[in-house]
């Protein structure tokens, strides 16, 4: 039976199963000290940026939560589209485990723009209000739409003007790159994204995601 409910309902490529079979023949140290983890880190640095810092996690919610914990304080708010996964689908986990307020914005296509974000950038320094600290974008969005690099650069530029960070939920980032014929770096680092929740399960793996930090000061806090 074929299912189009989600990318992670299908099996994985036979080469992945073969690689797991071969890896199972050998012994390896645990806790990320094995050669396959080292190879994965090296590959991520090669694909994105040699200065980036990847951290492997279990699933997408865990990836988003870890990323938000790295770039927020409890008094911050996170701006996102009203369709965003952290607002709709993660059962309150970002709010409970991060402690920030989620500020959803109504969009026509699941994509944020500077014009939509700007009205929410107020009350900085006011002790009675949550302080806007993060802009969260999904690439692809939950509606299947895709940000162009120009659109991402505009959002990142605005966020950085207000000393905010940009978190990209890249659960389906590979689809966006394939659709626009762009590299992973061109869709993230080159656009000004600070931190990425990089999908594995919906990008062809059996399980697992990765938080990739591009912002240099953040690496020292991870």
pLDDT digits (tens, 9 = 90+) for 186-218: 999 999 999 999 998 888 888 899 999 998 788
Closest CA to 188 of 217, 167, 209: 167
**Strands lying side by side in the sheet with 76-81:** 53-57, 209-213, 195-198, 165-170, 131-138, 76-81, 101-105
Q: Hey, how many other C-beta atoms are within 10 angstroms of the C-beta on 137?
A: 25
pLDDT the model gives residue 8: 78
Q: What is the pLDDT of residues 137-185, one digit of tens each?
A: 999 999 999 999 999 999 999 999 999 999 999 999 999 999 999 999 9
DSSP bridge pairs for 131:
76
Same domain? 40 vs 103 = no
Same domain? 88 vs 41 = no
pLDDT the model gives residue 222: 65
Q: Among positive and negative, which fits the CA dihedral 115, 116, 119, 121? A: negative
Residue 3 domain-assigned?
no
Provide the domain limits for residue 195: 50-219
pLDDT the model gives residue 92: 86
Residue 4 domain-assigned?
no
Same domain? 75 vs 176 = yes
Same domain? 40 vs 142 = no
Residue 181 domain-assigned?
yes
Same domain? 120 vs 21 = no
Residue 7 domain-assigned?
no
Q: What is the CATH number of the domain that holds 132?
A: 3.40.640.10
Same domain? 94 vs 19 = no
pLDDT the model gives residue 145: 98
- At residue 30 the predicted structure's pLDDT band, cuts being 50, 70 and 90, is confident
Residue 98 domain-assigned?
yes
**Mean pLDDT over residues 46-65, rounded?**
93
> Considering its fold, how many domains does the chain have in total?
2
**Mean pLDDT over residues 65-83, rounded?**
95
**Mean pLDDT over residues 32-57, rounded?**
94
Q: What is the pLDDT of residues 80-134, one digit of tens each?
A: 999 999 999 988 898 888 989 999 999 999 999 999 999 999 988 888 889 999 9
**Mean pLDDT over residues 23-48, rounded?**
92
Same domain? 122 vs 215 = yes
pLDDT the model gives residue 219: 74
pTM value is 0.94
| Token representation of residue 2 | 């074929």
pLDDT the model gives residue 11: 85
Same domain? 109 vs 30 = no
| 17 pLDDT higher than 90 | yes
159 contacts 133 by C-beta, under 8 angstroms: no
| 9 pLDDT higher than 90 | no
191 contacts 160 by C-beta, under 8 angstroms: no
pLDDT the model gives residue 90: 85
Same domain? 20 vs 117 = no
Residue 1 domain-assigned?
no
Same domain? 108 vs 141 = yes
pLDDT the model gives residue 123: 86
Q: Among positive and negative, which fits the CA dihedral 172, 105, 85, 74? A: positive
Residue 159 domain-assigned?
yes
CA terminus-to-terminus distance, the chain: 42
| Token representation of residue 168 | 């990209």
């Amino acid at each position: 039976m074929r299912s189009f409910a989600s990318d992670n309902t299908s099996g994985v490529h036979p080469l992945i199963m073969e690689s797991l079979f071969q890896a199972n023949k050998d012994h390896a140290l645990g806790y990320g000290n094995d050669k396959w983890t080292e190879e994965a880190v090296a590959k991520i640095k090669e694909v994105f940026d040699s200065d980036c810092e990847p951290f492997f996690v279990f699933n997408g919610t865990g990836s988003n939560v870890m990323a938000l914990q790295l770039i927020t304080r409890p008094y911050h708010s996170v701006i996102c589209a009203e369709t965003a996964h952290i607002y709709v689908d993660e059962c309150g986990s970002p709010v409970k485990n991060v402690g920030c307020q989620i500020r959803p914005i109504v969009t026509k296509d699941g994509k944020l723009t500077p014009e939509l974000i700007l009205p929410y950038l107020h009350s900085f320094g006011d002790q009675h209000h949550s302080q806007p600290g993060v802009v969260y974008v999904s690439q692809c969005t939950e509606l299947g739409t895709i940000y162009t690099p120009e659109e991402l650069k505009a959002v990142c530029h605005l966020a950085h003007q207000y000393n905010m960070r940009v978190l990209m939920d890249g659960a389906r980032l590979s689809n966006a790159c394939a659709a626009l014929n762009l590299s992973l770096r061109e869709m993230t680092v080159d656009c000004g994204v600070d931190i990425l929740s990089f999908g594995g399960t919906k990008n062809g793996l059996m399980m697992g995601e990765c938080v990739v930090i591009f912002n240099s000061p953040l690496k020292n806090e991870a």
